[in-house]
Structure 1
């Protein structure tokens, strides 16, 4: 696919005004507080695997409203703690998969928690295990318009809260140094990473890779690819609902979370990405409040971005910030 967005020079300066609700901070502080107050236990059970260099646990933690969320917890075998940790969030439609399927961070010496995304896990990969026990009004196929009539009922309110509570859960583990917790994820996982970076305090690093869920109003009008195109299909049926829909989405825009995030951050962007257009990624990056920020640019890639190249960049970035002490 040829480049279709702003030029590289324009992208580096692209810092648009993004719709932001007046009660954004109140909405999220109340949401997170209510879920923390709901309580719940972190539970884990060791899983038998063929791996000899790390141990895998089936971990359950309380997410939105105290509801149970599944995750895989992978620990380097024989390592002495407390260790730095990486909490990782998944791409759109995927689940946590099989135990040990994501082992790079544990192999590099980190405690790794890979969060299941509630209600997802049946579009690709090896499946998911966490239900989303909430109904919604009419929506288009997919997840992006579920509950979009109101921010209180919107699907990503629950997912982003699950992400914050995943950080809480990993910080509670005896093997983890709670001051050295990083977050990471690609595409949808990158969008969740940005949200958690804006909502959770004291993170040692955030690593959003080709992030989704940023600058909705530009994305929806710029690309004809899903998932953003789910909003187009919804609005093509619910004519005249634009203001209501984009008001809801403004509570979940990665650019608004970026304005509140201060952890050291490493973004990535692909300049031929038709799924998460580069200007939407730069909208979040250029609004990011922290001073320690970098972006890896993959000039001729689409949504696959840097793949293993990006993981090695993340590993080097995180080693400088999380492995000392």
Structure 2
């Protein structure tokens, strides 16, 4: 696929650090999401282990099925430390639009219990009414806010957290969320409504400021949305309920954001819009690039993962020293 010059635009850091005018938000944004949380994020969630993976030196690893908000089964991967008395934290890990076929073993410290949920439609092992291909999944149900795929993806973050807390009650009060790209944007949508989370890290978050996302050609699923809105402008208002920059204004826990300065798939301006929207204590760890391949890109990812691990591991007494407090 030939890339257009604008797809690889690298904005100056000075420009990206200048807060944009916030996107306009629906008057009933809070009501919509609070009702969604009340419907899908409270109460018990049925789940079961369907197969065990080889244990690591520190963790038991299993594939589980849980009752998805989409009224179907969802897949997740659960990691529980061998030594139950050593558990200090819990971690819910969102994924990119490439989906996942297993847990990211290197993201889970020895003292952490973790769950890696698959958004509805993104796992090959579980049938779904949502299509797996990113360009199709991002449009599924987009005609109405109540049926859009992203609503259920965010709701399943809450349900995965419930499964983890059920499996490892010791993580209550120390539950964190990590999400990259699709998972970063969905994580921003999920966080404001669920008080069980303690900290969050959003890496190259998608879905930030749809004004920007719809204005620029890209190599990611955003291009499918841009083309769809050109053909069906009536769905434009639906996207405002699923804008990570609008949702981010409502997050109150400490958040680390790792936006990219250069990114052909997710416009950097939209990524930085998520950071600027945060009114909570926050930490910026800008990346040189995102959604690219090669040694430099790999190194950028490794640095981000180390930054995220350090952020979650910081004692409460030292946390404030690395955060910026928004007005």
| TM-score class normalised by the smaller sequence | 0.7 to 0.9
Match of 1:31 among 13, 31, 36: 36
Structure-1 separation of matches of 2:174 and 2:135: 39
Q: Is the 8 A contact 1:84 1:322 kept in 2?
A: no
Q: Is the 8 A contact 2:130 2:140 kept in 1?
A: no
- Report the alpha carbon displacement of residue 145 of structure 1 after superposing the two structures with TM: 1.5
**Aligned equivalent of 1:84:** 89
**Aligned equivalent of 1:47:** 52
Q: Please state if 1:267 is matched with 2:270.
A: no
**Aligned equivalent of 2:218:** 224
TM-score (normalised: structure 1): 0.85
**Aligned equivalent of 2:127:** 131
Structure-2 separation of matches of 1:142 and 1:132: 13
Match of 2:116 among 70, 90, 114: 114
Q: Please state if 1:258 is matched with 2:263.
A: no
Equivalences for 1:244-323 in 2 at 5 Å?
244-291=234-281, 293-299=282-288, 301-304=289-292, 306-321=300-315
The one-character-per-residue Cα deviations of 1:52-77 (angstroms, maximum 9, x if unpaired) are 43211222333315543211101222
- The 10-residue stretch of structure 1 (58-67 or 190-199) with the greater mean CA deviation from structure 2: 58-67
Bigger proportion of residues as helix: 2
Structure-2 separation of matches of 1:118 and 1:323: 38
Q: Please state if 1:22 is matched with 2:27.
A: yes
Q: What RMSD, in angstroms, separates the aligned Cα atoms of the two structures?
A: 2.7
Q: Please state if 1:210 is matched with 2:199.
A: no
Partner of 2:39: helix, strand, or coil?
helix
Match of 2:142 among 144, 148, 154: 148
Structure-1 separation of matches of 2:268 and 2:174: 30
Match of 1:12 among 14, 17, 20: 17
Partner of 1:18: helix, strand, or coil?
coil
**Aligned equivalent of 1:157:** 151
- Report the alpha carbon displacement of residue 79 of structure 1 after superposing the two structures with TM: 4.1
Aligned residues: 306
- Report the alpha carbon displacement of residue 4 of structure 1 after superposing the two structures with TM: 2.3
**Aligned equivalent of 1:179:** 173
CA, structure 1 residues 147+46, in 2 after alignment: closer, same or farther (shift >3 Å)?
closer
Gaps of 5+ in 1: 122-127
Structure-1 separation of matches of 2:254 and 2:205: 16
Gaps of 5+ in 2: 319-327
- The 10-residue stretch of structure 1 (172-181 or 224-233) with the greater mean CA deviation from structure 2: 172-181
Partner of 1:64: helix, strand, or coil?
coil
